[in-house]
Chain A
Amino acid sequence: EAGVAQSPRYKIIEKRQSVAFWCNPISGHATLYWYQQILGQGPKLLIQFQNNGVVDDSQLPKDRFSAERLKGVDSTLKIQPAKLEDSAVYLCASSRWGTTGELFFGEGSRLTVL
């Protein structure tokens, strides 16, 4: 079974530029999550999708962050414009419907904002 795929692995941009991250979850996984992990901290949930609908985006800074999962499969997370404090690893995870807590994570996309 192929794991969660994320790209790019690394991205360096200057503040006020935009960036997009892509995630392809494990086949058949209905739930998809984007987490932000700042160095030295635990992952913080940004947005949770169930198929192509948003379940929770309460911690997503909507003035600059957006995410979509149009066909209920892969997802894109965008930041525009980026700030210095957005430097972090962006982790995508997926899970089967009804299996609380067992998330499968990708390797993450490391963003550095200069």
Chain B
Amino acid sequence: SQELEQSPQSLIVQEGKNLTINCTSSKTLYGLYWYKQKYGEGLIFLMMLQKGGEEKSHEKITAKLDEKKQQSSLHITASQPSHAGIYLCGADLGTNFGNEKLTFGTGTRLTIIP
């Protein structure tokens, strides 16, 4: 089974609507990272969460980390066509923080429709 499970696997949202993507780990999290990938391109780093309860925002994207539940959520407010792509969560699931080895989830494919 996957160490990092993302839900939903795909999401179709009307432009202007809000949405949430979830990432759940089967192991203790030593850091949670969100990336975005457009088709045929590499991954782009969005943000990093390291402490339980931490919340970060970048433009209209907000990510939260619930360390106890080993979960993170990514919330997009007032979605735009530019938000379309694949969102991947990555985590350091090693025994030491700073291992710098990222395990990725399977991704959530986001489509924005007019």
Instruction: Give me the interface of A with B, judged by CB distance under 8 Å.
Output: 4, 31, 33, 35, 40-45, 48, 55-56, 91, 93, 95, 98-108, 110
Among candidates A31, A40, A105, residue contacting B43 with C-beta atoms closer than 8 Å: A105
Q: What is the number of contacts between chain A and chain B, taking CB atoms within 8 Å?
A: 65
B106 pairs with A100, CB closer than 8 A: no
Of the stretches B14-22, B60-68, B95-103, the one at the interface is B95-103
For B76, the chain A residues whose CB sits under 8 A away are none
Chain B 71-114 residues near chain A, CB threshold 8 A: 88, 90, 92, 97-107
User: Shortest distance in angstroms between B69's beta carbon and chain A's nearest beta carbon?
Assistant: 20
Instruction: Give me the interface of B with A, judged by CB distance under 8 Å.
Output: 4, 31, 33, 40-45, 48, 88, 90, 92, 97-107
User: Shortest distance in angstroms between B32's beta carbon and chain A's nearest beta carbon?
Assistant: 8
For A41, the chain B residues whose CB sits under 8 A away are 106-107
For A101, the chain B residues whose CB sits under 8 A away are 31, 33, 45, 48, 90, 92, 100, 102
A4 pairs with B42, CB closer than 8 A: yes
A31 pairs with B106, CB closer than 8 A: no
User: Shortest distance in angstroms between A100's beta carbon and chain B's nearest beta carbon?
Assistant: 5
B106 pairs with A91, CB closer than 8 A: no
B100 pairs with A100, CB closer than 8 A: yes
For A100, the chain B residues whose CB sits under 8 A away are 31, 48, 92, 97-100
Given A40-B106, A101-B92, check contact A106 B100 (CB 8 Å). no
User: Shortest distance in angstroms between A82's beta carbon and chain B's nearest beta carbon?
Assistant: 21
B92 pairs with A103, CB closer than 8 A: no
Residue from B88, B90, B103, B104 with most neighbouring chain A CB atoms (10 Å): B104
User: Shortest distance in angstroms between A38's beta carbon and chain B's nearest beta carbon?
Assistant: 10
Tell me, in angstroms, the Cα distance from A91 to B4 when the chains sit together. Answer: 19
Given A42-B106, A101-B90, A102-B33, check contact A107 B42 (CB 8 Å). yes
